[in-house]
Structure 1
Amino acid sequence: MAISPNSILHFTKRRASLEKILEGFFTTHYCKEVFELNEAKYKLGIPMISFCDIPISNITSHTDKYGNYGIGLKKEWAELNRINPVLYMEKESSIAKLIEPLIREVIVNDKYGSFRTSLIEERNGDIVTIKPINDKDRELKINAVIGQLSFIKNYKGVLKRKGKPDILDYKFYDEREWRYVPVASEISDGHKYYDSIMSEAEYDIWRGERLSKKKNIEGTELRFESKDIDYIFVKKESEIPTIIKAIRKSKNIYKNNEELDLLISKVLSLERIKNDF
């Protein structure tokens, strides 16, 4: 059996969320990530869509934590959409010690007060001129650090789950995560400003204290078609007819009855997987 499957998988806790995905696209939202690198600790909001790279025979421990409804898509589709495996990092490793000073320089010790600062004041007597910062070295460092943080995950840490006890020393490495992170220059015009990274305080404001679910980031949809799908997962065998009805209604992802029939054949229940794999 191959260690790495030919599909990447995305799971969610609600069947309604899977039905929404089956309209032909994923939506991006911010996730709070905790980075422990060397002696430093950062909590930041990272925009992403997460997938896992786990053989179907091993997915039940993953679905127990992240939901029993999901979809598997071909890795060729992932590659075309620049979805990438994350870099798992032990917090005391040599690479953590090497990159953390650069992260601290950009995130904490920016010479203009904040790495978000793009305009500065120049004074000539009583005349104040506001001008853009033209510092290519600084811009390269900021982009490099944001790129690193967007695809870094600690090897292990605390897994927090809503309504359930935290899991201490959880091995995130076992998830074999892949991520889609939007590129700011490619986001659809006409949508509100996109933050490529958020502080913890900014994330908490964005999430909102009373929101029951995370808000989507407009203009960052990740689209797919029936040919890109390898699997569709539901929790129980009894839910298969319901999800088939949802697939039939979703005419954005299939072009004809042949594609529809093939798509329906890809529906699996976790009940069957637990019994047969």
Structure 2
Amino acid sequence: MSNISSNSLFHFTPKREYLLNILRQTFVPRYCFEEIQLSDQLKREKFESAIPMVCFCDISLSQISNHIKTYGEYGIGMTKEWGIRNKLNPIIYINPNSNVSESISKLAESVYQALDKYCGEVTKGISDEFMNLSNFLKPYKGNFKRGDKIYKNVRFYNEREWRYVPKIEFDSDVGNYLDKSHYSKPEVLQEENAKLLDYRLGFKPKDIKYIFVKDDNEIHQMMTELRNIKQRFSPKEIDILTSKIITTKQIKEDF
């Protein structure tokens, strides 16, 4: 019987160059826009901001074809032990107007009211921890934009997302979120993303279980490109990594 979840954490991307950048410089967080509907009966009915993150999933390979179709046919599979060691966590899926969403909405309002009245060390600390928690919220379902495509009523719950979000202090020069107006400006977004290089999520070759390319024609090219990453991997490590290359075509056909 196949597992519902995998013992690996997968990160897929639409371009081989993006995958190579991960192998060269590890995972670098990027601001991703999230809109979370909470409770339309309360003053603060939703969150809307861009959060610095790296996303993974633990969908079993036998069930992952639709995920690949959405996010891309190049990717990397990490051990789940690596993810746990680096404090990744499954996200919390929120159903609008549930008791949980109502509690989060009320808590958010209380935090913002406290900051308005007095911005001291205690209130800043509370705000930091609330932001760290809210960065792991996602709607149970909703619309999703990928490039020029908009997918309607996507059930995000099926993605089984694990997330890395760096802990950024309240008064840091690096924003722990971006509002929609800043996120919508490409030059601002590029500048803010560049600041996240110091929050990279590192790994060693032994933490990698799979390297995914699109089809058989790209295996040899990926092997050559791996051997060119000499600054990070030893020749022995590169030989081991080349043995972990698998194609997304194989997944679709054989799993």
| Kept after mapping to 1: 8 A contact 2:212/2:248 | yes
Q: Percent identity?
A: 35
Cα pair distance change 1:210/1:22, threshold 3 Å: closer
Distance 1:101 1:155 in 2: 19
Cα pair distance change 1:111/1:20, threshold 3 Å: closer
Give 1 or 2: higher strand fraction: 1
Cα pair distance change 1:7/1:89, threshold 3 Å: same
Supply the AA of the counterpart residue of 1:142: S
Cα pair distance change 1:251/1:38, threshold 3 Å: same
Which blocks of at least 5 consecutive residues in structure 2 are unaligned? Answer: none
Paired residue for 1:106, among 99, 106, 111? 111
Q: Which residue of 2 aligns with 1:147?
A: 132
For residue 138 of structure 2, give the secondary structure of its aligned residue in structure 1.
strand
CA shift, 1:214, in A, is: 9.0
RMSD: 2.3
Q: Which residue of 2 aligns with 1:243?
A: 222
Supply the AA of the counterpart residue of 1:59: I
Q: TM-score, normalised by structure 1?
A: 0.82
Q: Which residue of 2 aligns with 1:7?
A: 8
Does residue 178 of structure 2 align to residue 198 of structure 1?
Answer: yes
Q: Which residue of 1 aligns with 2:241?
A: 263
Supply the AA of the counterpart residue of 2:143: V
Give 1 or 2: higher helix fraction: 2
Tell me the matched-pair count: 247
Q: What is the 5 A alignment of 1:35-54?
A: 35-39=36-40, 40-54=45-59
Deviations 1:159-188 (A, max 9, x none): 112122x22211001110011111236xxx
Supply the AA of the counterpart residue of 1:237: D
Q: TM-score, normalised by structure 2?
A: 0.89
Does residue 8 of structure 2 align to residue 20 of structure 1?
Answer: no
Cα pair distance change 1:139/1:18, threshold 3 Å: same
| Kept after mapping to 1: 8 A contact 2:46/2:105 | no
Which blocks of at least 5 consecutive residues in structure 1 are unaligned? Answer: 114-119, 121-132, 186-191
CA shift, 1:274, in A, is: 1.2
Q: Which residue of 2 aligns with 1:116?
A: none
CA shift, 1:200, in A, is: 1.9
Does residue 159 of structure 2 align to residue 175 of structure 1?
Answer: yes
CA shift, 1:196, in A, is: 1.1
Deviations 1:190-215 (A, max 9, x none): xx82111222223234x44897x994
Deviations 1:229-269 (A, max 9, x none): 00000111111111111111113443342x32221111011
